[in-house]
Amino acid sequence: MAQEHVIRFKDKHDLDLYVYDASDARIRYDTLFMGFYEKENESDPRDIAPGKSPWDEERQKVTMGLFPIFGGLVRLSWHDLRDNFIEYTFNFDEIFPDRIIPHPKALDDRIFWSEPLAYTPGIILEIIDRRLNIYTVIDLHVQIPNTNTVKTKTYRAKVFTREF
């Protein structure tokens, strides 16, 4: 029987937030407080983020810096397309109770397990109108079949979704 491998969050993670078909998105997490697609003042029209295109998923990167595991409550708020206010607070421990990061099990025999991750694992928060999606993003060291070459491959998995 083959050994079952797991990849876990250890001490740090990266984070990013992407907003589509929404406005006035705000995130508060650990030392981070940021806003996206905000109007400058009350007289300004709403600055609505464009809809998600088929190419956006390929361009999503995790770039907001490293955070301790897990750095407290995540507080998100935004306005949907109809300008309804949505607010949601959660803890990553609820989403990842065992701190396991999904990976393609079909690659277990090809992952370089002594150091499986090339970089710090990432979490993407994605707001689309009235939906929140959460993804993990990991860069794995994978051996190329029939060679002694190890390459870094990026794998992304949706781990949570909620409609509001």
Does 128 score more than 50 pLDDT?
Answer: yes
Does any domain span residue 73? yes
Per-residue confidence (pLDDT) for residue 3, from 0 to 100: 63
Q: Which domain holds residue 64?
A: 7-163
Does any domain span residue 145? yes
Does any domain span residue 2? no
Single-letter residue type at 128? I
pLDDT level of residue 2 (50, 70, 90 thresholds):
low
Pairwise CA distance, residues 90 & 104, whole Å = 27
Does any domain span residue 151? yes
Phi, psi of 107 (to 5 degrees): -100, 5
pLDDT tens, residue by residue, 50-64 = 999 999 988 888 888
pLDDT level of residue 113 (50, 70, 90 thresholds):
confident
Does any domain span residue 32? yes
Does any domain span residue 75? yes
pTM of the model: 0.90
Angle, vertex CA 126, rays to CA 121 and CA 129, nearest 5: 175
Strands laid side by side in the 12-20 sheet: 66-68, 12-20, 122-128, 131-143, 150-163
Does 10 score more than 50 pLDDT?
Answer: yes
Does any domain span residue 25? yes
Span 122-146, mean pLDDT?
94
pLDDT level of residue 41 (50, 70, 90 thresholds):
low
Does any domain span residue 1? no
Span 150-161, mean pLDDT?
94
Per-residue confidence (pLDDT) for residue 1, from 0 to 100: 39
Domain count for the chain, please give it.
1
Span 93-113, mean pLDDT?
91
